[in-house]
Chains A and B, each alone.
Chain A
Amino acid sequence: MKDPKDIRVVVGMSGGVDSSVAALLLKEQGYDVVGIFMKNWDDTDEFGVCTATEDYEDVIRVCNQLDIPYYAVNFEKQYWEKVFTYFLDEYKSGRTPNPDVMCNKEIKFKAFLDHAISLGADYLATGHYAQVRETDGKFEMLRGIDNNKDQTYFLNQLSQDVLSQVMFPLGHLEKKEVREIAMEHGLATASKKDSTGICFIGERNFKDFLSEYLPAQPGEMQTLDGEVKGKHDGLMYYTLGQRQGLGIGGAGDPWFVVGKNLEDNVLYVGQGYHHDALYSDGLTASQVNWISMDPPTEPLKCTAKFRYRQNDSGVMVHPSEDGRLKVVFDNPQRAITPGQAVVFYDGEVCLGGATIDEVIKNNQFVSFVG
């Protein structure tokens, strides 16, 4: 067994409290810790202010407190090519992309991992709430202990090779404890607000952001019976199950987005959170990744999440010969959204995941998306 001081761990530091505490814990365990800040996006405004600069300042403060070296690396080009282009393409095809899953797959645990290895790192650590368990040379990914913060959903595309080289020092902690540790040690980021939303959009208005990159095509808002209820600003601005921003008033239950017709540029709306059109019985998915098991050849009973922070639901996974999956729900599910990830679990173990392509209802593919 190598002495921890001879094991170099590169910590991906964002300037937030989670990665700060991850670095702190590793340092306390005696590892040779190196902090690295990743710059993926340039949002420098007219006054020269850039979120990344502010965040890097926090990385510097924390690394100085921990007495570890810190560096930055720029992946703006790779991020643009691998994540942002995908993000726009998905919106263009009427889907709702998950850039965090893609960023983890292509940037954090690929380009950044490669960079860490080139610096002589034995491991890459991040502040994700997830756990790695090694049994007989096999690496399983487990949910983070904090049920509310578990981030395995976003990590579903990680491979064995990647997991063998990563550490998640926060996986066994509750978020509350992480804050407490940061406070106890007086870390500069101890009371820094958690970042919300998609990293490159930040606190800005999502619609404004997207309109800078994609032309919006306004169209009609209709009920499934064809009754015109108003205008929409462009299908890409809406997500299935969304209530906000429709601008339909009147009597009765609130209105929700229940479907999109890409061909005719129509946004379907319906009344009530539990509108029947929002519910489905199954889905198909591609870009399948199984983390620590062989791809199933028989139907697999497990649980699944269809979006982040959702409770698991029972499903039956049917593999097909072309490598895609058909997932049948034990109970109807609301607002299954093409482009998002479906992630599978067996108890605490995250089995893997895939990207949702189609939604199935009454044995029919429901083409919400054109």
Chain B
Amino acid sequence: MTNIYLDHAATTPVHPQVIEAMVPVYQEVFGNPSSVHQFGRKARRILDEARRTMADSIHCNEKEVIFTGSGTEADNMAIIGAARANREKGNHIITTAIEHHAVLHAAEQLKKEGFIVTYLEPDVNGRITAEDVADALTEETIVVSVMMVNNETGVIQPIPEIGEIVSSHQAYFHTDAVQAFGTMPIDVNELQVDLLAVSAHKINGPKGVGFLYAKEGTILETLHHGGEQERKRRPGTENLPGVKGFEAAVQMVMQEKEDRQDAYRLYKNIFLDILRKEEIEFSINGDPEKSVDTIINISFTGTNVEALLTNFDLAGVAASSGSACTAGSVEPSHVLSAMYGSEDERVYNSIRFSFGLANNEANVKEAAENVCKIVNRLKR
């Protein structure tokens, strides 16, 4: 049995070149970037170079890049930090019902602190519209947070249109770009975002590092308290090997973006073609015309998600339902529930497959064939 990884939206294998970039940092550059001696300076240089790479990748100034410990931390810093720091301007937050928990639970925290949160509902295709955002804006709104690409369905949200609307409003506009980064060009000026979160481990970088773009002039309250790293916005000695690995991953994805996307589109088509050929009864969740090629979320009529996932894993196919788990058992997806209503069958029989560097035509084909076998067996 070969094990086939189709869960790149959860995390990705670290690229060998990333490891290659990190090892010398571990071996040779142990200095603290804040130190005033040559050991510190050597480390600081690596940090600054990486910051420039991050900035270039989204067309911002390097001073606008804050390294964090994760994408979740970047989202938290953006939403909670901006809300708390701008409380005198209003107490209203707008986000969507389909955000990652890094955003949803941050919004929940703000609710506990007395903020009012509006959750925009997606349409049946998993899309939020700019009009929804326009309608929800009030004089009290201080933060709008809409993800760029949904992590469960792969649906691309209309960030430039929303950015256009929010740009003439006092509210800060944050986007969680964790799933989007690497799949499409990102220019923070075109998007008109004030805050944008990215994570390294979704793009074949190491775990434990991410960054937040915060447009110059954006006022954020810090979540942690300590030293003066990251221009006082994120204290704690920098994870230098992680940052270096992140840089290598960003460089690679920038270079190979088109080739990779072509490959993933091919894999997606191979996968779906086999399901069709085997006459599997399925439907795709989310508008396929407005989705990234790395993710497909498929509803298998007449099955259930727990039996599917367990069987897939026992057959060597690693996929997921895309949503968080409680006590290991699969909770109904909040994204699909928001799209269809919580009683809809698709909420309980859908699987997310996500493609990446661990895939090739042969293993995607093999995985699809295994999936067909299992779905047919379960439906018998």
Residues of A within 8 A of B (CB): 34, 36-37, 39, 42, 44, 50, 52-53, 55-56, 59-60, 69-74, 115, 118-120
> Is B287 an interface residue when CB atoms closer than 8 A count as contact?
no
With beta carbons under 8 angstroms apart, the residue of B311, B313, B328 that contacts A72 is B328
Cross-chain contact A73 with B306 (CB below 8 angstroms): yes
18 A–B contacts, CB within 8 A, in A order = A37-B328, A39-B328, A53-B326, A55-B327, A56-B327, A56-B328, A60-B328, A72-B325, A72-B327, A73-B306, A73-B329, A74-B306, A74-B329, A74-B330, A118-B307, A118-B311, A118-B377, A119-B311
Cross-chain contact A119 with B330 (CB below 8 angstroms): no
Which residues of B are found within 8 Å of A36, using beta-carbon distances?
A: 310
Chain B nearest CB, measured from A55 CB (Å): 7
> Is B184 an interface residue when CB atoms closer than 8 A count as contact?
no
Which residues of A are found within 8 Å of B307, using beta-carbon distances?
A: 115, 118-119
Count of CB-CB pairs between chains A and B under 8 Å: 54
Residues of B within 8 A of A (CB): 306-307, 309-311, 313-314, 325-330, 377-378
Q: Which of B314, B326, B329, B377 gathers the greatest number of chain A CB atoms within 10 Å?
A: B329
With beta carbons under 8 angstroms apart, the residue of A44, A53, A55, A119 that contacts B310 is A119
Docked complex Cα distance between A73 and B313 (Å): 14
Chain A nearest CB, measured from B51 CB (Å): 36
Chain A nearest CB, measured from B104 CB (Å): 14
Cross-chain contact B314 with A50 (CB below 8 angstroms): no
Cross-chain contact B326 with A71 (CB below 8 angstroms): no
Given A74-B306, A74-B330 in contact, is the A118-B378 Cβ separation under 8 Å?
yes
Closest to A59 in B: B328
Docked complex Cα distance between A74 and B311 (Å): 15
With beta carbons under 8 angstroms apart, the residue of A56, A69, A74 that contacts B313 is A69
With beta carbons under 8 angstroms apart, the residue of B310, B327, B377, B378 that contacts A52 is B327
Docked complex Cα distance between A80 and B265 (Å): 44
Which residues of B are found within 8 Å of A55, using beta-carbon distances?
A: 327
Closest to A74 in B: B329
Docked complex Cα distance between A34 and B315 (Å): 13
Q: Which of A36, A44, A56, A71 gathers the greatest number of chain B CB atoms within 10 Å?
A: A71
Which residues of B are found within 8 Å of A39, using beta-carbon distances?
A: 326-329
Which residues of A are found within 8 Å of B310, using beta-carbon distances?
A: 36, 71, 73, 119
Docked complex Cα distance between A72 and B307 (Å): 10
Docked complex Cα distance between A39 and B325 (Å): 12
Cross-chain contact A34 with B326 (CB below 8 angstroms): no
Given contacts A37-B329, A56-B327, 13 further A-B contacts (CB under 8 A): A39-B328, A42-B326, A50-B327, A53-B326, A56-B328, A69-B313, A69-B314, A70-B328, A71-B309, A72-B327, A118-B307, A118-B311, A119-B307
Which residues of A are found within 8 Å of B311, using beta-carbon distances?
A: 118-120
* Chain B binding surface SS class: helix
Docked complex Cα distance between A53 and B306 (Å): 17
Closest to B330 in A: A74
Which residues of B are found within 8 Å of A44, using beta-carbon distances?
A: 326
Cross-chain contact A50 with B328 (CB below 8 angstroms): no
Docked complex Cα distance between A69 and B314 (Å): 8
Which residues of B are found within 8 Å of A42, using beta-carbon distances?
A: 326
With beta carbons under 8 angstroms apart, the residue of B309, B314, B329, B330 that contacts A120 is B314
Which residues of A are found within 8 Å of B306, using beta-carbon distances?
A: 71-74, 115
Which residues of B are found within 8 Å of A73, using beta-carbon distances?
A: 306, 310, 329
Docked complex Cα distance between A39 and B306 (Å): 12
Docked complex Cα distance between A70 and B328 (Å): 9
Closest to A120 in B: B314
Docked complex Cα distance between A36 and B326 (Å): 14
Docked complex Cα distance between A154 and B307 (Å): 27
Docked complex Cα distance between A80 and B179 (Å): 38
Which residues of B are found within 8 Å of A120, using beta-carbon distances?
A: 311, 314
Cross-chain contact B328 with A71 (CB below 8 angstroms): yes
Which residues of B are found within 8 Å of A72, using beta-carbon distances?
A: 306, 325, 327-330
Chain A nearest CB, measured from B152 CB (Å): 19
Cross-chain contact A37 with B327 (CB below 8 angstroms): yes
Closest to A118 in B: B307
Docked complex Cα distance between A59 and B314 (Å): 18
Which residues of A are found within 8 Å of B329, using beta-carbon distances?
A: 37, 39, 72-74
Which residues of B are found within 8 Å of A52, using beta-carbon distances?
A: 326-327
Q: Which of A36, A37, A50, A73 gathers the greatest number of chain B CB atoms within 10 Å?
A: A73
Docked complex Cα distance between A71 and B306 (Å): 9
Chain B nearest CB, measured from A131 CB (Å): 28
Q: Which of A39, A69, A74 gathers the greatest number of chain B CB atoms within 10 Å?
A: A74
Chain A nearest CB, measured from B64 CB (Å): 35
Given A115-B307, A118-B307, A118-B378 in contact, is the A71-B313 Cβ separation under 8 Å?
yes
Docked complex Cα distance between A51 and B328 (Å): 12
Docked complex Cα distance between A192 and B295 (Å): 42
Closest to A34 in B: B314
Docked complex Cα distance between A55 and B327 (Å): 8
Q: Which of B309, B314, B325, B377 gathers the greatest number of chain A CB atoms within 10 Å?
A: B314
Which residues of A are found within 8 Å of B326, using beta-carbon distances?
A: 39, 42, 44, 50, 52-53
Cross-chain contact A119 with B327 (CB below 8 angstroms): no
Closest to A42 in B: B326
Docked complex Cα distance between A115 and B330 (Å): 14
Docked complex Cα distance between A269 and B328 (Å): 47
Docked complex Cα distance between A143 and B310 (Å): 33
Cross-chain contact A53 with B314 (CB below 8 angstroms): no
Q: Which of B325, B326, B330 gathers the greatest number of chain A CB atoms within 10 Å?
A: B326
Closest to B331 in A: A74
Docked complex Cα distance between A332 and B326 (Å): 50
Chain B nearest CB, measured from A275 CB (Å): 45
Docked complex Cα distance between A148 and B306 (Å): 37
The 5 closest A-B pairs by CB, nearest first: A72-B328, A74-B329, A52-B327, A72-B329, A56-B327
Closest to A8 in B: B314
Docked complex Cα distance between A55 and B326 (Å): 12
Which residues of A are found within 8 Å of B377, using beta-carbon distances?
A: 118
Given A73-B306, A74-B306, A74-B330 in contact, is the A119-B314 Cβ separation under 8 Å?
yes
Chain A nearest CB, measured from B305 CB (Å): 10
Which residues of A are found within 8 Å of B328, using beta-carbon distances?
A: 37, 39, 56, 59-60, 70-72
